Amino acid sequence: MAATAFDPFETFVHLRTKGEADRVRWTPGFWRELTTADELLYLLSGRIDVLFEEAGGDRVVPLRGGQACVVPRGVWHRIVMHEPADLLFVTPPKGTELRRARGR
């Protein structure tokens, strides 16, 4: 693939196991095609909370610009934004699920 600039807010990058990086344009069905795996969240700027659903209730991990956390495979989570933010996430493709947050 030729090196060209692209908009990271409209294009996702699929990092393959053999080192390839494929650009994937966002579509309405995009999330249904991702996989269940650990996910790296790296907050580039702003302030968010990552809420992990646990048996005893939600566990909150606050993130500020420049901080990161790992979401373990299969753990339901959601993001609460406290100020405008840019979030980079890295997760292997095929099978990620979306659902309404608990209590909503």
Q: Report the CATH number that the domain containing residue 49 is assigned in CATH.
A: 2.60.120.10
Q: What is d(CA 102, CA 65) in angstroms, rounded to the nearest whole number?
A: 27
Residue 61 forms part of a structural domain? yes
User: What are the DSSP calls for 81-95, one per residue?
Assistant: EEEEEEEEEE--BSB
Residue 29 forms part of a structural domain? yes
pTM higher than 0.75, yes or no? no
The label of the residue with tokens 């990620």 reads 96
Residue 75 forms part of a structural domain? yes
End-to-end CA distance of the chain: 43
Q: What is d(CA 56, CA 82) in angstroms, rounded to the nearest whole number?
A: 24
Question: Which of 9-18, 71-80, 82-91 shows the lowest mean pLDDT across its residues?
Answer: 9-18
Residue 6 forms part of a structural domain? no
Residue 3 forms part of a structural domain? no
- How many domains, in total, are found in the chain? 1
pLDDT of residue 90: 80
Residue 81 forms part of a structural domain? yes
Range of the domain at 83: 11-90
**Two tokens at 25?**
């344009």
Q: Determine the 3-state secondary structure of 31 from DSSP.
A: helix
pLDDT tens digit sequence for 33-82: 665 678 889 999 999 999 999 999 999 999 999 999 998 888 889 999 99
